[in-house]
Amino acid sequence: MSHLPNPDRYQSMQYRRCGKSGIMLSAISLGLWHNFGDVDDQENCRNIIKLAFDSGITHFDLANNYGPPPGSAEKNFGAILKKDFKNYRDEMIISTKAGYHMWSGPYGEWGSKKSLVASLDQSLKRMDLAYVDIFYHHRPDPNTPLEETMSALDLIVRQGKALYVGLSNYRPEECEKAIQILKNLGTPCLIHQPKYSMFERWVENGLLDLIEQEGVGCIPFSPLAQGLLTDKYLKGVPEDSRVAKAHGFLKQEHITPENLTQIKQLNEMAIARNQSLAQMAIAWLLKDERVTSVLVGASKPEQLADSIKSLNNIIFTNDELNQIEEILK
């Protein structure tokens, strides 16, 4: 039986305009980078997505290679969509990406027109969708002319396979060129998805100013630095954590004594604000109006519920902001 969503789902969520477009995104978006592959419990995946939708989250973010194994997150998401949400597709923004390694041979990654068009066709089949709302180029390709990559995104929109296009992991200079090419082609860039957190701040060196000036949205990924910006590693490495998983991106060596000192101090600040450290880290990103939405991952529904509570307090005093800068120095 299809899922019956919470009728009040749009009352408690905050929505923000994505750049200068007609699109509003939920302030929290659900990323399916981890925890939705074939290695994961599918009933748990369903429960996370149900909670997201019932909480007013409208944006679900995927990529061709999400899993593991690659492709399985899209396949599993498509199955959940068909089973539980087939009547609610039009209330969702579904995005996917291509650019990282996906299949063997010279066309299975990067940014050629051949690669991007083929990858999106595969993604649509896996999810059993006619189109995605946003299609991203996942990373810049140093060997393919930017004009070819951007013309592929333009073609995909004109073919009706995506409504909007975005960029991910583009640095300011290449991002500016890409935005201009897309604008000239008549398919403006909707959104940029950079890695951004208290521990990863390169976007503050020009990117945020650029996308504000160009009317492009921003949706940071890894807001919790793969789990470092939580209280879970303060007493060692839990068995169910990303560090403990063989396919996790966070490694034991990322947890340094310096990091732990900062995490402890930030955690004390969060407690003083009546927040968990994870909530404060998300709120810290949302304090900036140029940030449209924050992409969070979740390995269980309770984690997602905790992230959503960050919206209860996204205001920081100048003293708090100065204190955070001191800790992070």
- Mention every residue, 6+ apart, whose C-beta is less than 8 A from residue 236: none
* Nearest-angstrom CA–CA distance, 146 and 273: 45
Distance CA(241)–CA(249), nearest Å, equals: 11
Interstrand relation of 15-17 and 24-26 (parallel, antiparallel or unpaired): antiparallel
pLDDT tens per residue, the chain (329 residues)?
789 999 999 999 999 999 999 999 999 999 999 999 999 999 999 999 999 999 999 999 999 999 999 999 999 999 999 999 999 999 999 999 999 999 999 999 999 999 999 999 999 999 999 999 999 999 999 999 999 999 999 999 999 999 999 999 999 999 999 999 999 999 999 999 999 999 999 999 999 999 999 999 999 999 999 989 998 878 765 565 555 555 555 556 777 888 899 999 999 999 999 999 999 999 999 999 999 999 999 999 999 999 999 999 999 999 999 999 999 99
Residue 96 class from Cβ within 10 Å (0-12 exposed, 13-18 middle, 19+ buried)? buried
> What is the distance between the alpha carbons of residues 244 and 318, in angstroms, rounded to a whole number?
37
Q: What is the C-alpha separation between 150 and 152, in angstroms, rounded?
A: 5
Angstrom distance (rounded) from CA 299 to CA 242: 10
pLDDT in the model for residue 99: 98
- DSSP of 153-189, one letter per residue? HHHHHHTTSEEEEEEES--HHHHHHHHHHHHHHT--E
Give dist(CA 171, CA 196) in Å, integer. 12
* Extents of the domains making up the chain: 15-225+289-312
Per-residue tokens: 74: 């899209």
Does domain 15-225+289-312 bear CATH number 3.20.20.100?
Answer: yes
Instruction: Find tokens 């890894």 and name the residue.
Output: 222
* 186 φψ region: left (φ > 0), alpha (ψ -120 to 50), beta (else): left
